[in-house]
Amino acid sequence: MSRKVTRRQFLSTLEAIGAAAALQPVSWALAAEESVEKATPRKVEKLTAAPTITIAHCCDPQLGFGNDADPETAYQNDLGKLAREIENLNKIKPDVVFFAGDMTHQVREIERDWPRMLPKIEAPIIVAPGNHDVPEPVTQGKLDAFCKVFKKEYDSVAINGWKIITINSQYCRPTDSVALYDTQVSWFQKELESAKEEGLRVIVGSHIPPFVKTLDEKDEYFNFPTNLRKTYLDYLVANGTLFYLAGHTHTTLERDYLGIPILNGETTSRNFDSRPYGFRLLKIDADLNYEWNFVAND
């Protein structure tokens, strides 16, 4: 990232979390490579040691997006699938439930059922807003509507030596709300860098994934802009990030960056790859062995 661009140019082309990192005189790529030399996660079918953390990774409940020609029927079907998901969550009792955004399909319906559904979930909940929850461009009014139901647009929680940090990836898209954007960037930097200082292992979650299939793929609806993508990921890895959890794609995907898994799980609204409805349970042991197994919505 050139230092010669004006602030306005910078914001219009690089509206995203971690952007400030791109301006720092540090080789994040080199720092990331040095960081991953230490250890990277290894997927197993079944852990042989007790997990240090168990996370339910729930993607796109998106009430009203399900497959039915009648919008109200689709909404009610999705609500029923969410209720079954909550039953499963309460049986499994994960340490934390991460919703990777798109809580509703029509933002005007965000308050329709979530205020009574959220308290049914017994585990701590952390939610990253989706593009259907805070449609672009980000404005204070849209954030207020989201936070009225879900409390925070970005958040973090520390559990057993891990820190889960969720961000509002809608700042990937152009916005004139510069102050809001700057506030999240500085918050995010502090969260990541303090996690590193404290020796916490980090999991980052957002609605939009950094990329869908390959790091060098073109900009599109489903990914972070290319002018940010690599620096953002290097910055995360250099600061102790070991997993990236996302939603948005409505397909189940496993890829990695420098050995760091980037995971997208099944939804309970609509899966474009015909996967069944449900969520993923991420369990990680102290040696970074992990399970990321499917929990069917039945």
Alpha carbon distance 7, 10 (integer Å):
5
CB of 54 to Fe ion, least distance (A): 24
Taking the complex as a whole, the smallest distance from the CB of residue 15 to Fe ion amounts, in Å, to 20
Q: Which is nearer to Fe ion, 41 or 66 (CB)?
A: 66
Q: How many H helices and E strands in the chain? A: 8, 12
Token pair 């701590």 is found at 124
Segment near Fe ion (CB under 5 A), from 6-14, 45-53, 79-87, 102-110? Answer: 102-110
Nearer to Fe ion, 95 or 102 (CB): 102
CB of 112 to Fe ion, least distance (A): 17
Spatial contact of 262 and 48, defined as CB atoms under 8 Å apart: no
41 vs 205, beta carbon nearer Fe ion: 205
Decide: 82 and 278 in contact? Cβ < 8 Å.
Answer: no
Considering only the stretches 42-50, 59-67, 75-83, 121-129, report the one whose residues sit in contact with Fe ion under the rule CB under 5 A.
59-67
Which residue, among 66, 10, 84, has the nearest Cα to 272 in the 3D structure? 66
| CA atoms of 124 and 104, how far apart (whole Å) | 20
CA-based nearest residue to 143, from 161, 170, 166: 170
Give the residues across from 98 on adjacent strands.
57, 126
* Surface-to-core class of residue 18, CB atoms within 10 Å of its CB (0-12 exposed, 13-18 middle, 19+ buried): buried
With respect to Fe ion, which residue has the nearer C-beta, 240 or 278?
278
In the bound complex, what is the minimum distance in angstroms from residue 104's beta carbon to Fe ion?
A: 10
Whole-angstrom Cα distance, residue 200 to residue 175? Answer: 32
Binding track, positions 124-153, relative to Fe ion; x by CB under 5 A: ------------------------------
78 near Fe ion, rule: CB under 5 A? no
Tell whether residue 266 is a contact of Fe ion (CB under 5 A).
no
Among positions 15, 60, 133, 234, the unique one binding Fe ion when judged by CB under 5 A? 60
Residue 160 in tokens: 């057993």
Residues 154-193 that bind Fe ion (CB under 5 A): none
DSSP 31: H
The residue at minimum Cβ distance from Fe ion is 102
For residue 61, cis peptide bond before it (omega within 30 degrees of 0): no
Q: Which is nearer to Fe ion, 41 or 129 (CB)?
A: 129
> By rule CB under 5 A, what string of x and - marks binding of each residue 14-53 to Fe ion?
----------------------------------------
Half-sphere exposure of 126 (CA within 13 A, CB side): 26
Q: Shortest gap between Cβ of 62 and Fe ion (angstroms)?
A: 5
**51/265 with CB nearer Fe ion:** 265
Rounded CA-CA distance 21/34 in Å is 17
Report CA-CA distances (Å) from 267 to 34, 93, 198: 35, 19, 34
Give 56 or 208: the residue with its C-beta nearer to Fe ion.
208
Q: Quick one: 102 or 234, whose CB is closer to Fe ion? A: 102
Window contacting Fe ion (CB under 5 A); options: 10-18, 69-77, 94-102, 234-242:
94-102
Does 102 help bind Fe ion (rule: CB under 5 A)?
Answer: yes
Residues that bind Fe ion (CB under 5 A): 60, 62, 102
